[in-house]
Structure 1
């Protein structure tokens, strides 16, 4: 990274998403978020316009087609954002010598390894969403040699549309909830992910770009959970605020059919992120507690 651009903002795409919201809050004035209509993968000319007006030091691409089930019936739209749009943005950043941080997903894996995935494991996506993200990774790395890809999973935050908020809202209305108990993964706080990315951005600022930085990293909550055990943890913490905890019944994936097949075991290993950048992702239980505290702080205002 050139020192001449160090004081320029960090540009974050996907302004309405959980990660962008966390990056904006934790990064403060250094972060500029953009989204539709000003920035739109379906209108490639907006990508150039935004880069030219913002002149960012780094770009964090948090914009994506993330509607996993809808992607099954709208594959072209998902590919425009997750594959073509992302790689075009990476290419435009390469022309301007801007490092590019791209967010990817555990859905690039089939979920049948039986152990946590490492970055060198072969991808084998089982869904349209997973395929468009996997192809996006390949194209981004090819388009910009200064690219970092962060695969994450099961992202939640105190606001917005995510599992934590869904559970808290459902508990307020139902005395019994059924939650899938045979899928395993790493619940990830949007704040933890944002903090990890901002730590890496700081390292890029301080040390400049190094070729050995380039490539794929896993960045998700430390430890493992099922959706069922995650729900139990959420309710355990919410009970401290007077939530009437519902009965949570474990069910199987087959009892909750969805258009897109979920990976049964998409646990990922964060060791590389710690080794290369010294960034250690927090234990997921601690992060759930903090997120529930924040959710109630928001509602009590």
Structure 2
């Protein structure tokens, strides 16, 4: 039995990214057809031709950079432009993922989609350039900005924190950097929910910039403390203290909170609390990771 519209078919560019992995998992659970273009095949992706028949393309590449290493900037911009042009020429929909790093972190309240962008990092500048390329080349583009992403798999802040908890005795974490921790699975579900409404041919057109993050805003220190407490409940850990690095030690305070009122009013998509998603990810991590699930030795 078909559980969705026949036209609800996706292609993921960057399936090894956090959101890419979460999308693949969610598509499989929902029995939604999808194909993938791996990051190591970006050169091939420049020539899409008529190989891909899917309606919805998700560019998941720019959202996070594995191990902090930026992707090839010129190649990424070229792929983004080519993908957008392909979607425009073939009447497809493009979801271009971005993040709060397109802002400067100095606003005292949550950033709205209408706020002026001012990236202060190379990654933020690259993401903003990708946003511009996508919108310039494809009218049917949805820009979706998110925030600190976490998941139970892959290389991300949470999995690194899990490994540190079982191997290190003390952690020092910034208390001046604030944002909205967001489960990759929450972003995946938001993308599908948006696509389902676009698929219905809603009027007016729903293209544009949207924010989705889990609630609520917090510091890296607060998130880390919550994660460590969750890890302690499931396995033996070495970490004894988690120290908050103050503004005097850690530099200027920055906040990358995003307002999600637009996605709520337009698509009816509500935020999920990050603490719930964090708990689910930690449980999944220590259930599936037998190495970390084993008792610690002396």
| TM-score with structure 2 setting the length | 0.87
> Which is further off, 96-105 or 280-289?
280-289
The correspondence of residues 87-236 of structure 1 with structure 2, limited to 5 A, is 87-205=81-199, 207-208=200-201, 210-236=203-229
Q: Indicate the residue corresponding to 1:55 in structure 2.
A: 53
Alignment check: 8 A CA contact 1:146 1:209 kept:
no
The correspondence of residues 24-35 of structure 1 with structure 2, limited to 5 A, is 24-28=24-28, 29=31, 30-35=33-38
Cα distance in 2 between the residues matched to 1:249 and 1:188: 23
Cα distance in 1 between the residues matched to 2:208 and 2:8: 24
The answer to whether residue 243 in structure 2 is matched with residue 249 in structure 1 is: yes
Q: Deviations 1:67-107 (Å, cap 9, x if unpaired)?
A: 49644xx8xx32431x3321221111100000110100111
Q: Name the count of aligned residue pairs.
A: 282
Gaps in structure 2 of 5+ consecutive residues: 294-298
Alignment check: 8 A CA contact 2:63 2:99 kept:
no
Alignment check: 8 A CA contact 2:13 2:58 kept:
yes
Cα distance in 2 between the residues matched to 1:161 and 1:69: 10
Gaps in structure 1 of 5+ consecutive residues: none
Q: 1:180 to 1:135 in 2, by over 3 A?
A: same
| Partner secondary structure for residue 254 of structure 2 | coil
Q: 1:156 to 1:293 in 2, by over 3 A?
A: same
| Partner secondary structure for residue 170 of structure 1 | helix
Quote the offset at 1:298 in angstroms.
1.1
Q: 2:62 is matched with which residue: 64, 73, 91?
A: 64
Quote the offset at 1:32 in angstroms.
1.9
| Partner secondary structure for residue 50 of structure 2 | helix
Quote the offset at 1:204 in angstroms.
2.1
Cα distance in 2 between the residues matched to 1:78 and 1:243: 41
Q: 1:15 to 1:163 in 2, by over 3 A?
A: same
| TM-score with structure 1 setting the length | 0.86
The answer to whether residue 6 in structure 2 is matched with residue 11 in structure 1 is: no
Alignment check: 8 A CA contact 2:94 2:142 kept:
yes
Cα distance in 1 between the residues matched to 2:126 and 2:247: 23
Q: 1:235 to 1:279 in 2, by over 3 A?
A: same
Quote the offset at 1:253 in angstroms.
6.6
Q: 1:70 to 1:161 in 2, by over 3 A?
A: closer
Q: 1:187 to 1:139 in 2, by over 3 A?
A: same
| Partner secondary structure for residue 198 of structure 2 | helix
